[in-house]
Amino acid sequence: MASSIYDVFSDHHREGTHPINLTLGNPHLKPPKLYYQAMAEVLRELQDEAGNGHGYSTQKDPFGLCHGLASDLAAHYQAAFRKTDILVTVGATGALDVILKTLVRPAIDVLRPSATRREPDEILIIAPYFVEYWNLVHGNGARPVIVPSAHDFGLDNEAIAKAITPRTRAIIVNSPNNPTGKIYPNESLRELAQILDEKNRKIGHRIAVIEDAVYESIVFGDAPPPSMIPHYQTLFRVNSYSKSLSLSGERLGYLAVHPEFAPTPEREELDRALNLNMRARVVHAPLLQHRVVARLPLRGLTDVGAYRKNVECLHRTLAALGFVVARPEGTFYIWAALPDGFRSEAEFRLGALEGPSPLLYLPGVLFGGDRYDRYVRFSVCVPYPEVERACLRLREIVATSAVNPNVRR
């Protein structure tokens, strides 16, 4: 499904068209000036150093990034994070992959095909969800269990509780959420922690929370997004610099293990498994970026104002045209349901792809299946003039469609 949909939109990058590309979350903003200053310093040092600064590193925290991240997490969440609780990874996706590789038990021993097959482990995914979650879970041998969110796209803790079985190994919690822009409130996270604690006692093992916080720096309110760190200890936190510093192509992220994840013997075993699986995936994250980012402030460098301006512009237009759309609380995405006059997303797509300036977006089905077949996701991490072009194209699409009588001018 995913590849065919992507193919439909990629065809419109052909010569002779001027697409308005609101598909991927690939930041258009340049990294902050401090990043380039730190990069220049690092390059000068590398050139002047006697040895080869581009070789493998045998040190656990060669540039102090893990120490800085641990101190930052400890200060914000009153939990005693240490640098040994942090692993620098190849982006947030690399962190998720390593965690799942560590948690999931294979359903069958491929070297002994005659071995008894058992039911695979299950990972709960809250829909709508980041499209790669399903692939990562399935690729690591587990069964993705999709749990729809509440009507306002918040957590449906009752549905989550019902979805948990003795095979449940983890749940992925993504807030601010891609694609909806929803931030889960603290009370919902606390309630989820209580549900998990109760389920843990019944099923006889602890269910891990994988907290994906890659958009924590792109929020449009005054307060940072709440975390489950204060409420639940069997937790991994995942983040990256792809969004916050616009370094998506540099592939630098990290995972943090809650300092109270497990008693000492189990925790030591977990740490060994995580490090082994890190080495199995990649030797280490890009050291040049590791070295540069370690010199930067850990917070406050994201130009949230640019994303807020884009979001507000597109949100106003969509609401005026009859789309059902909530104002995102964070991220640079807008998640919208089509006006009633469109019979399907396929019909909307026909209008969107017409002409010399096709409007490219991602269909809702990619984020959780047919229940979202009337939804679309727009990414507004593009220059503001492109958002204005998108608004103009949306007006044209609606004006030439059957929904025209319903448009609020």
pLDDT one-digit tens code per residue, 209-222: 999 999 999 999 99
Helix (H, G, I), strand (E, B) or coil at 285: coil
Dihedral angle of Cα 345, 351, 355, 361, to the nearest 10 degrees: -30
Q: Give me the pLDDT at residue 408, please.
A: 41
Predicted confidence band of residue 16 (pLDDT cuts 50, 70, 90): low
Using left for φ > 0, alpha for ψ between -120 and 50, and beta otherwise, residue 275 falls in: alpha
Given a cut of 60, whether residue 260 has pLDDT beyond it is: yes
Given a cut of 80, whether residue 253 has pLDDT beyond it is: yes
Predicted confidence band of residue 1 (pLDDT cuts 50, 70, 90): very low
Q: Give me the pLDDT at residue 2, please.
A: 43
In this prediction, residues 290-308 reach a mean pLDDT of 94
Given a cut of 70, whether residue 102 has pLDDT beyond it is: yes
- Which of 87, 99, 43, 35 shows the shortest CA–CA distance to 61? 87
pLDDT in tens, 126-166: 999 999 999 999 999 999 999 999 999 999 999 999 999 99
> Which of the residue ranges 68-82, 96-110, 267-281 has the most confident prediction, judged by mean pLDDT?
68-82
- Terminal CA-to-CA distance of the chain, rounded, Å? 36
Q: Give me the pLDDT at residue 11, please.
A: 55
Given a cut of 90, whether residue 90 has pLDDT beyond it is: yes
Cβ within 8 Å of residue 401, ≥6 positions away: 341, 342, 347, 348, 351
What the block records as the tokens of 220 is 């449009």
In this predicted structure, which of 96-110, 191-205, 332-346, 392-406 has the lowest mean pLDDT?
A: 392-406
Given a cut of 90, whether residue 105 has pLDDT beyond it is: no
In this predicted structure, which of 54-68, 168-182, 338-352 has the lowest mean pLDDT?
A: 54-68
Looking at domain 35-293, does it have CATH number 1.10.8.60?
Answer: no
Predicted confidence band of residue 407 (pLDDT cuts 50, 70, 90): very low
Contact 1, 217 (CB under 8 A): no
Q: Give me the pLDDT at residue 283, please.
A: 72
In this predicted structure, which of 2-6, 246-250, 289-293 has the lowest mean pLDDT?
A: 2-6
Cβ within 8 Å of residue 72, ≥6 positions away: 298, 299
- Indicate if 35-293 has the same CATH topology as 2-29+303-406: no
DSSP 255-275: EEE-TTSS-HHHHHHHHHHHH
What the block records as the tokens of 345 is 């997303």
Contact 240, 252 (CB under 8 A): yes
In this prediction, residues 323-333 reach a mean pLDDT of 96
Predicted confidence band of residue 10 (pLDDT cuts 50, 70, 90): low
Instruction: Go through the chain and tell me how many residues it has.
Output: 409
Predicted confidence band of residue 7 (pLDDT cuts 50, 70, 90): low
What the block records as the tokens of 162 is 């019902």
Quickly name the fold that domain 2-29+303-406 has. Aspartate Aminotransferase, domain 1 (3.90.1150)
Given a cut of 80, whether residue 112 has pLDDT beyond it is: no
* Residue boundaries of the structural domains of the chain: 2-29+303-406, 35-293
Contact 172, 179 (CB under 8 A): no
Half-sphere exposure of 46 (CA within 13 A, CB side): 15
Contact 2, 23 (CB under 8 A): no
Percent of the chain clearing pLDDT 70 (strictly above): 91
Q: Give me the pLDDT at residue 115, please.
A: 61
